Structure 1
Amino acid sequence: MAARAWDWLDGFPALDLVNTVKRVGWQEREQLEDPADLDSWLDVAALPAPRPASVDEEDLRALRALRDPALRLLHARLGRGEWLPADVKAINAHVLAAPELVLLGEHPRETVRHPLGIHSVMTRLLAGLAAEVRDATQRCDLAFCDAPGCGLVFYRRRTNQSWCGAACGNRVRVARHQAG
């Protein structure tokens, strides 16, 4: 099997996580089908903590157990679903599984993370991703690209931005032209 292309990665951990569910047409498709996919994604995604040296089925299940409620919460934040207490509980449980202090770094926009206690690398990674999801739910520039075949969650670069990128905007304009 050829390695997946992760060309949509945006460098924001919460978005890189939830966008591992990709819309093809109007159907959502899982992009992390096996541990090899997870391993490949971990190699290129923006991560808030070190990645495990290797991953297995259990790690894949654990990541999906975080990603699925994260996706529902970000969609709910955008008015595309319901804000469920069980999803909030799942995100908070991951954050609490490996608490850390986040301090200012020596350079602007730099932080230094200090774990409180000893936790596995995967637990720390999931906690960091959950914290990023928590923070993403608070951002006013969070958006959903509803272009045909896209469905990515993204941060707007401009207040009037409707799609995640130029290609999606072009697809919407072509679809409008063909329909009209």
Structure 2
Amino acid sequence: MQDPTSRAAGIALDLAVTIRHDGHGGVADDLTCPEGLTAWVRAHPGTVPDAGAYTADAGTLTAVRELRAAVRALFARAVRPAAPSPADAARLLPVTEALARLNAAAARTPTVPVLRWPDDADPVVHHRPADGQADLIALLAQAAVAFLAGPGRERLRACHAPRCVRYFLKEHPRQEWCTPSCGNRARVARHHERHRRPA
């Protein structure tokens, strides 16, 4: 079973990387319409109760996109002094606005801690909505808060391979890119740059 910290990191990163490289030198956004958000939630079982039957509306889409902008701004702060994702560099929210937006979203649904202690594992605290009603925006914001306040934040990096706009968690000391294909693109770009310069 995935621990809550890993789950929070996973969903926070997954939200951030709904802005991604489109494969043609541009940036794609997976959350441009309610159907895109519906597909994203359904692809992430456990995000909200009964995620497989979830259907987004325009208001929820707007709120999730605003939350994503705040999360990406705070991710950019977390990777300092390194540069943020190129997708964010020119349009980051001010940190105070990003924090206010994230905290307001997290407060949409008050939560209560619930202790679970399986026979074969250590006790784990889960948080559930105090009123029993889950709110997608609050759940995503609370996951981002847990990730940004947790130890995983230290491993957060922005990938700087050509055309990549992703954030990722560094898994080993020598990892520089989010995927091996990004590493290949970066090496090819450096090779071409070296051979293009006059001697």
Same fold (TM over 0.5): yes
The one-letter amino acid paired with 1:15 is L
Q: Partner of 2:165: helix, strand, or coil?
A: coil
- Could you tell me which residue of structure 2 aligns to residue 21 of structure 1? 19
Q: Partner of 2:54: helix, strand, or coil?
A: coil
Q: Partner of 2:168: helix, strand, or coil?
A: strand
Deviations 1:24-46 (A, max 9, x none): 47754322111111111111136
Pick from 121, 129, 140: which aligns with 2:154? 140
Question: Retained in 1: the 8 A contact 2:161–2:177?
Answer: yes
1:32 aligns with 2:25: no
Structure 1 residues 176, 168: CA separation in 2 closer, same or farther (over 3 Å shift)? same
- Could you tell me which residue of structure 1 aligns to residue 96 of structure 2? 85
Distance 1:15 1:102 in 2: 23
- Following superposition, the deviation at residue 174 of structure 1 comes to 1.2
The one-letter amino acid paired with 2:73 is R
Deviation beyond 6 Å, 4+ runs, structure 1: none
Distance 1:172 1:144 in 2: 14
- Could you tell me which residue of structure 1 aligns to residue 68 of structure 2? 67
Q: Among all aligned residue pairs of Structure 1 and Structure 2, give the percentage whose two residues are the same amino acid.
A: 27
Return 5+ residue gaps in structure 1 as ranges: 1-10
Aligned length: 167
- Could you tell me which residue of structure 2 aligns to residue 7 of structure 1? none
- TM (normalized to structure 1)? 0.80
Question: Retained in 2: the 8 A contact 1:13–1:46?
Answer: no
- Could you tell me which residue of structure 2 aligns to residue 56 of structure 1? 57
- Following superposition, the deviation at residue 164 of structure 1 comes to 0.8
Distance 2:13 2:179 in 1: 15
- Could you tell me which residue of structure 2 aligns to residue 45 of structure 1? 44
- Could you tell me which residue of structure 2 aligns to residue 128 of structure 1? 139
- Could you tell me which residue of structure 1 aligns to residue 191 of structure 2? 177
Structure 1 residues 47, 163: CA separation in 2 closer, same or farther (over 3 Å shift)? farther
Distance 1:97 1:82 in 2: 21
- TM (normalized to structure 2)? 0.73
- Could you tell me which residue of structure 2 aligns to residue 167 of structure 1? 181
Return 5+ residue gaps in structure 2 as ranges: 1-8, 85-91, 195-199
Distance 1:63 1:82 in 2: 15
- Could you tell me which residue of structure 1 aligns to residue 4 of structure 2? none
